[in-house]
Amino acid sequence: MSRKHISEHPALAKNKHSCYSQIIGMMGIGTKFIVKVLLNGLGLYLASAYIPGFHLYGGIKTLAISAVLLALLYTVIRPFLRLITAPLVWVTFGLFNIAINMALLWGADLALRELEIENITTLFYVSLIIAIVNIF
């Protein structure tokens, strides 16, 4: 009788090269949302610390509220916007996703008085940071 290696198991064979996808696949919806909130909080903190023109007034409470709002926007509204603008995303080879991210961040800026983005350049750089943390 021959023993099979664990990577030859049918359930593990399809994702044996991607440990990250296995971990994310095992998380529940609530856990994924909590991770997204924490990563958005990290992105907002880094942006407020290193990008001039981006301000979060109110301390940790504002950071937490902003992170939850961004996580909700990215979880609920972003898929709908990507579906509607799919032809533009395809034509621009994905670059229109930057405009979607900027629109969502601008919406968060309008919704929260404690969040201030001074100009379009700052909005662009902060949206890049938020997009990078939302990849994971």
pLDDT of residue 32: 86
Pick the residue with more confidence: 32 or 110?
110
**74 within some domain:** yes
Is the residue at 54 inside a domain? yes
Is the residue at 58 inside a domain?
Answer: yes
Q: Is residue 93, in this structure, part of any structural domain at all? A: yes
Residue 18 lies in a domain: no
Chain length of the chain = 136
Average pLDDT over residues 33-57: 93
19, part of any domain: no
Mean pLDDT of 104-121: 94
User: Are 133 and 40 contacting, i.e. CB atoms less than 8 angstroms apart?
Assistant: yes
> Which amino acid, 38?
L
Q: Which of 6-10, 40-44, 67-71, 84-88 has the lowest average pLDDT?
A: 6-10
Q: How many domains does the chain have?
A: 1
Residue 52, domain member (yes or no):
yes
Query: What is the percentage of the chain residues whose pLDDT exceeds 70?
Result: 80
Average pLDDT, the chain: 85
* Residues of the domain holding 115: 28-133
Looking at residue 28, the DSSP 8-state letter turns out to be: -
In a domain, 75, yes or no: yes
> Helices 29-50 and 60-72, interaxial angle, to 10°?
130
